[in-house]
Amino acid sequence: MDTMGEKNWLEQIQGKNQLAKIIEANAYTEEFGLALTDAEARALVEKRNEALRTEGRVEFGAGILPKLIYAFCDSDYVNADEWGGFLGRLTEIFYLYKNEMNDEITDDELIAFMRQQYEEVCRGDLDYLEDTCLELFAEAVRAGYRGYQESGGYGEYEQLDLRARWSHAEFIEALNELCQ
**pLDDT one digit per residue (tens) for the chain, 180 residues:** 444 445 565 555 555 677 888 889 999 999 999 999 999 999 999 999 899 999 989 887 778 999 999 999 999 999 999 999 999 999 999 999 999 999 999 999 999 999 999 999 999 999 999 999 999 999 999 999 888 888 887 777 766 765 656 677 887 888 888 888
pLDDT for the residue numbered 174: 83
Largest CA distance in the chain: 73
- In whole angstroms, what is the distance from residue 7 CA to residue 5 CA? 5
The candidate with the shortest Cα–Cα distance to 55, out of 93, 112, 20, is 93
pLDDT tens per residue, range 3-20: 444 556 555 555 567 788
List helix spans (H) across 61-167.
65-72, 83-100, 107-120, 126-128, 134-142, 148-151, 157-160
Distance of CA 149 to the CA centre of its chain: 18
pLDDT for the residue numbered 16: 67
How would you label 151-160 residue by residue, b for 16+ Cβ within 10 Å and e otherwise?
eebeebbeee
pLDDT for the residue numbered 166: 66
The candidate with the shortest Cα–Cα distance to 145, out of 130, 160, 161, is 160
pLDDT for the residue numbered 161: 66
pLDDT for the residue numbered 90: 97
Contact indicator for 160, 136 with CB cutoff of 8 Å: yes
64: DSSP letter: S
pLDDT for the residue numbered 1: 41
- In whole angstroms, what is the distance from residue 124 CA to residue 117 CA? 9
